[in-house]
Structure 1
């Protein structure tokens, strides 16, 4: 493990802290910690931000957020971001600093998508919201002052990576939404109970890293149980997509070597590559969601710099 992260974690850790067992209290505490961390992050003054409103299939109006870079001309590529949080935490501003940084660093229009959360809205409502939102965004790109021909990227980390893996297949199969690239940060792509036999020998991180910092196996199971997906549904376990993975867009992965879902990313990258998908993967000696815990560490800067470089790889020359 990265020695500077390990020291910072050991210095902060308190053995008497027990995470709340009630899922609502767990979410309240986790959201409060995330908001506190977000306040400590730098905020960009450049560009423009506004909320956007998208109707869902059941009439719900999804309020999401969009950023435009300074000097935007309407020719910028479109990046869609799906926040993490285990399907139970966060909102469209959950990773605001990251969204602002990508918007300016890539000179792209960035839309951060909200979706209704478990436990109040379990599977499949969140993924349905995300698919409905993507279809709205794709058909309203001109109103968003973005140029899909310059690039149309789906991106997200953790639960957001799960969402992007699913949406990439839905968009491919629909045929009328041309996604040009996918970013998957520490993604979840299969329920541990339904890992295909061919991959079981490689699927070790769920046990090897079950006591990892930041996100343990128990933490993960708490939020996934609240989301309550059908483990065998490809709308959760994208690895199981019945029509396979050929003809998906180029995909960039960032994976933590000490992450409980490390092997989701490792296996899925290999599966895509073997299906003929262009892939790129970077790995780091860190656990899940490490960058939010200690944003000042050099390993976080490396991760963030690599992320921007990976997005540029997706956008092409």
Structure 2
């Protein structure tokens, strides 16, 4: 009779005993792409990984949900706290179909040799945010900074233009042009402004509108002294289809392909801005493309100033681009187009930083360097 083997252990598979489940770690949503990581400023990586990686971009949230509770989705950090200035106030500016707020940053008044208030230069600012996001909070400290450093010689005006998609092109642009003219023609006496010493500027979408306004001023005979174009959107038409889709193969800009998935401003975010600002499809171009027409809202150059037919006699420009920004190539080519037409242009590419570097002057050296360049340009062009 066979011996009972009930207590005999089964044969062991040593490979299974040694087996361990692998750790599988997927990158966080909206992480900096691994192939780009080494190219970024280490200080930026620290803050981005702490505050941004793993979160939704605002363009990934339905705009209706964002408008209900912006604070739930907005991430804001890294702006250097600007020094206080003599007076900050707000006024309502009339625009087509309503009014917008303009925030005013004033230095302490100076007296001339006759004891009268000294005339001051003006800087009119248009914030970024793809025409969809942003507001007066974006550049508040920046405006304080430049007023402080101009030592009583400049008043800054920050324009709270209406946003898309509720107010699509050309409404934000029209608001900015209306605000500029209102400040210059109706508020110059109140704020002791010299109407011949005005500058405009902005970042991203704000830089786009500042560039367009420089053309407007030239054609209206207004002696604009300076345009500050920071990471500007200069050519919406060439990189996106009329339906607002990223045309990777058709884009003439290598920086768009290289930085399609970069941090801060991936191509998908720009496509979102295109659809919300311009609608789907975007406005068909006007047949009148041979000359500038301030009254024709459908001319493509008002969307993409790179397409303007006349670049002669524009205001001097300070153009700042970021190496790790899809918009880098078009910003630099726009600067060279200005320069080739005989305009004075100071162009600076900031290395190892993303599209948003200028608003990170509290944590990035490049942001501080940018501030120095802006202040120097304002002094050079407005106080000479």
Same fold (TM over 0.5): yes
Following TM superposition, by how much is the alpha carbon of 1:237 offset from its aligned partner in structure 2, in angstroms?
Answer: 0.8
Map 1:11-160 onto structure 2 (within 5 A): 11-12=49-50, 16-19=54-57, 20-25=60-65, 36-37=76-77, 41-58=80-97, 60-72=98-110, 73-106=117-150, 107-140=153-186, 141-149=188-196, 151-160=197-206
Count of residue correspondences? 308
Q: 1:191 maps to what in 2? A: 236
Which segment is superposed worse, 269-278 or 103-112? 103-112
Q: 1:226 maps to what in 2? A: 276
Following TM superposition, by how much is the alpha carbon of 1:34 offset from its aligned partner in structure 2, in angstroms?
Answer: 5.7
Following TM superposition, by how much is the alpha carbon of 1:222 offset from its aligned partner in structure 2, in angstroms?
Answer: 1.2
Following TM superposition, by how much is the alpha carbon of 1:217 offset from its aligned partner in structure 2, in angstroms?
Answer: 0.8
Question: CA–CA distance in 2 between the matches of 1:27 and 1:279?
Answer: 38
Q: CA contact under 8 A between 2:123 and 2:154: conserved in structure 1?
A: yes
The normalised TM-score by structure 1 is 0.87
Give the RMSD, CA atoms, in angstroms.
Answer: 2.6
Instruction: Summarize the Cα distance change of 1:30–1:293 in structure 2 as closer, same or farther, 3 Å threshold.
Output: farther
The normalised TM-score by structure 2 is 0.73
User: Which residue of 243, 256, 259 maps to 1:209?
Assistant: 259
Unaligned runs of 5+ in 2: 1-38, 111-116, 241-249, 286-299
- Higher RCO, Cα 8 Å, sep 6+: 1
> Higher helix share goes to which structure?
1
Unaligned runs of 5+ in 1: none
Structure 2 SS opposite 1:116: coil
Q: CA contact under 8 A between 2:81 and 2:362: conserved in structure 1?
A: no
Work out which of the two has the higher radius of gyration on C-alpha atoms and give 1 or 2. 2
Q: CA contact under 8 A between 1:81 and 1:110: conserved in structure 2?
A: yes
Q: CA contact under 8 A between 1:246 and 1:275: conserved in structure 2?
A: yes
Following TM superposition, by how much is the alpha carbon of 1:53 offset from its aligned partner in structure 2, in angstroms?
Answer: 1.8
Question: CA–CA distance in 2 between the matches of 1:91 and 1:13?
Answer: 21
Which segment is superposed worse, 112-121 or 6-15? 6-15
Question: CA–CA distance in 1 between the matches of 2:184 and 2:144?
Answer: 21
Q: CA contact under 8 A between 1:27 and 1:89: conserved in structure 2?
A: no
Q: CA contact under 8 A between 1:103 and 1:110: conserved in structure 2?
A: yes
Q: CA contact under 8 A between 1:80 and 1:113: conserved in structure 2?
A: yes
Map 1:3-14 onto structure 2 (within 5 A): 3-9=41-47, 11-12=49-50
Structure 1 SS opposite 2:301: coil
Question: CA–CA distance in 2 between the matches of 1:250 and 1:43?
Answer: 26
Q: CA contact under 8 A between 1:84 and 1:160: conserved in structure 2?
A: yes
Instruction: Summarize the Cα distance change of 1:25–1:248 in structure 2 as closer, same or farther, 3 Å threshold.
Output: same
Q: CA contact under 8 A between 1:70 and 1:104: conserved in structure 2?
A: no
Question: CA–CA distance in 2 between the matches of 1:129 and 1:64?
Answer: 11
